[in-house]
Amino acid sequence: MIICPCCGFKFEGDLMAGCDACGARAVGPPLAKPQHELPSFGRAFLVGVFGLAMLSVMVGFTIAALLQNGPITADFWALVGAGETAAWRLKWFALPVSMIVLFSGVRLSRSIKGSPLKFAGARMASAGLMTAAMVTFAMATLIGVTLPERWRQHRYSVEAGIQAPMLTIQRAQVEYQQRFGTYAGDLADLKDLKRLPDPDGSIAAAIAGIDPADYTATTEVAVSAKPGRIRSTVFRNVSQVTDETPRQAVVFTNYTLRLAGEDKIRGNEDDWIIRDGMVMKVTDDPLSSPNVSVKPGKP
């Protein structure tokens, strides 16, 4: 099979007789293979460039992080902090690229060492491969040491997002108590603009989606049962006041609001509670713990 160098036509025969497609003919026999061939330097150069490029990118991002934090300093921990920032910014790009570079560099280095007469620059290839491996290891280490702290920061941000509406409700309760001398008997009281102004709509947004059954307002008052005897009675919400209750407004002195946590499922250990202005997780609330029993005090 012969391929015509002029038109690329493939045919069986002798090129000296001419191409069947275009008629081009060889003017002489093929040149003899040279006795000495120079080895190729391209593969070693490619591996070296990859290693140098990875090192340059890492150093450049580290310097940029140092400049953002202030003037460049030779302090060790400042350099480590800048390196952590640079590694974290490059994680989605540099780590996959470094894996490809290492895999390709290993194969190219092996081919260079396996054919020393055809390929030159084994030392350059080894240096480039070592540089790429060191940069990859440094990035992985810097990212690894920051994961615990970044996970804590993520947890803080998640908890802050959960606590934000709870703190808004807490603020609304304080304003309501200052106006009327009692906590709200129902969440609907906090949304009543005639009772409690809400110019920015933050209170309505915080209460939206909350089941009214999750809120309980209570008060403990002394009711005379017989002459000379006083017993303690707890009233829960206005709707539970009976005819035996003294005919006067009930002032709610306590309230409890239980909300779902990060999993958005209410009724497990992930829940949060506002109890009389205190925001806490249900696991930190002694009154919600199944191992703690609260007995009413004696009058």
For each successive 10 residues of the chain (299 residues), what is the average pLDDT?
Answer: 82 81 81 78 92 93 86 78 89 87 91 88 92 92 87 84 86 88 86 81 86 84 50 47 44 86 79 86 73 39
Q: How many helices (H) and strands (E) does the chain have?
A: 5, 7
**What span, in angstroms and rounded, lies between the C-alpha atoms of 128 and 135?**
11
Beta bridge partners of 181: none
Identify any residues that bridge with 226 across adjacent strands, giving them in sequence order: 229
- Looking at residue 6, its pLDDT comes to 84
The pLDDT value given to residue 50: 92
Residue at token pair 């440094």? 138
- What pLDDT is recorded for position 231? 44
Global model pTM greater than 0.75: no
State the Cα angle at 131 between 130 and 132, rounded to 5°.
90
**DSSP conformational letter for 61:** H
**How many Å apart are CA 66 and CA 82, to the nearest integer?**
6
The rounded distance, in Å, linking the Cα atoms of 5 and 19 is 9
Please give the pLDDT value at position 56: 94
pLDDT of residue 249: 58
Joined together, the tokens standing for residue 150 give 């970044």
95: amino acid identity, one letter: L
* Whole-number Å distance between alpha carbons of 169 and 180: 16
